[in-house]
Amino acid sequence: MKIQSAKGTRDFYPQVMAVRNYIVDGWKAASLRSGFEEYDGPIFEFLKMYQIKSGDEIASQLFSFTDRGGRNFAIRPEITPTLARMVNQQINALPRPIKWFSLPRLCRAERPQKGRLREFFQWNVDIIGADDILADAEVIFTAIDYLHSAGLGPDDIVVKISSRKMLSAILETIGIGPDKLDAVYAVLDKKPKLPDDTFQKMIAEQITDPAMRRRVIELMSVEAIDAIGDIVALDAAAKAAVDELRELFETLELMGIVDFVKFDIGIVRGLAYYTGVVYEIYDRRSSLRAICGGGRYNNLLKDFGGPSVPATGFGMGDAVLEILLRQKGLLTDEMLSTRNIEYFIAIAGDEFKPRAVQLTTQLRLKGLAADFSYKSTSLKKQLKAAQTANAKYTIILGSELTENNQLVVKDMATGNQEEITVEAFLKKYES
């Protein structure tokens, strides 16, 4: 019986693994550049933890199981609840602000489609313990820093930014009660993905008053922060939230990334736990789903039994990102090597194979990547194997040279060759 891989998962053959490492290594480098520390947690947690954050209905979207003790667990679909649990466990011992990042493997039980898989990797960056808008700006900067380093410019991607704090204050001013906000957010969040008649029907179910509904729809068409006051009079809470959003854009301009960002009141983020600035990153053509999403979530630690501590962060998945990088020609299989050998040891005859094995292992013990051919092949084929291995240099062992305890070291890029004694060669790598 031939067994296939599960739908929505990937087999990481060396070439696919090279792509994964390219993306993940870039994420890690950008995180470290901005002063974040890496963490991780278990691959499964108690199911209740995800229900606390996203509601009981989340169980149908997870891979969950009951263990032999009757306890309900779930394979992690995200790592933010784990982050909240871990921080709460050591909240009094951790210096603030807490600047952490993670690169977890996640699983979600949903229908696989373009840019959405059942198993994927996600880059999470969070700052906990800082209520300053500068923290929101810094996590956005970190995302853009990575995308820019991958070759994407402001003509390629855009960060669409809004504020749940601002939107809630304005909706309450319009007359929508706090108890209705989450349901209205869920509909507004779906607006870009729905036909207009479907959206109109759904919003009418949540906002039954026609005049109130018209004002909300008019509000969601605003394209500039300064135009919000033309739709509705801003009370003190709404004005403070608008001012905070202006401050964010000023900070992003100071950071040199304002060309990457724009105000978009339609960015709502459907999850109820967002409390302030929210944003999503898209390709400029909007041909793909969001590359990244995040925002401020000041109540999450409290929801998990901890103190009320401000927090902000984002998640960026690898699936959509890979599609975009390939579309832009910034990621190709040809540009990534599955092997990176410093020295390939070639021999002019089988009698030199023991010496080749000895020299190869000597180099490895000095921390260098080195390899040789198992097969007895011609020198020409061994040089070809060195090219395939992306070797920087090939060391050639032959009868005349070996008798004098010498090597030929060939630079594979230039073709230049150097004769050197084994002792002098190894001495270069003495610690």
pLDDT tens, position by position, for the chain (431 residues)? 889 999 999 999 999 999 999 999 999 999 999 999 999 999 999 999 988 877 777 778 899 999 999 999 999 999 999 999 999 999 999 999 999 999 999 999 988 888 889 999 999 999 999 999 999 999 999 999 999 999 999 999 999 999 999 998 888 888 888 888 888 888 888 888 888 888 888 888 888 888 888 888 888 888 899 888 888 888 898 899 999 999 999 999 999 999 999 999 989 886 678 999 999 999 998 788 999 999 999 998 998 889 999 999 999 999 999 999 999 999 998 888 888 899 999 998 888 999 999 999 999 999 999 999 998 899 999 999 999 899 999 999 986 655 677 889 999 999 999 989 888 998 888 86
In the chain, CATH 3.30.930.10 covers 14-41+79-334
Task: Answer for the pair 311, 275: CB distance below 8 angstroms, yes or no.
Answer: no
Question: Torsion over CA of 320, 323, 325 and 329, rounded to 10 degrees?
Answer: -170
- Res 414: pLDDT: 94
- In CATH terms, 14-41+79-334 corresponds, of 1.10.10.10, 3.30.930.10, 3.40.640.10, 3.30.450.20, to 3.30.930.10
**Which of 424, 416, 397, 399 minimizes the C-alpha distance to 408?**
397
pTM of this prediction?
Answer: 0.90
pLDDT attached to residue 401: 57
Q: Kindly report each contact of residues 200-206 with a partner whose C-beta sits within 8 Å and lies 24 or more positions away, as own/partner.
A: 206/180
Q: At what angle do helices 14-33 and 318-327 cross, to 10 degrees?
A: 100
Phi, psi of 330 (to 5 degrees): -95, -5
Does a cis peptide bond (omega within 30 degrees of 0) precede residue 178? no
For residue 19, which of 431, 403, 407, 335 has the smallest C-alpha distance? 335
**pLDDT for residue 338:** 82
CATH number of 343-427: 3.40.50.800
Looking at residue 102, its pLDDT comes to: 98
List the one residue out of 244, 246, 269 whose CA is nearest residue 186. 269
Residue 71 confidence (pLDDT): 96
CATH 3.40.50.800 in the chain is located at: 343-427
CB atoms within 10 A of CB 296: 27
242, 25 contact by CB (below 8 A): no
Tell me the residue type at 423.
Answer: E
Whole-number pLDDT of residue 221 = 85
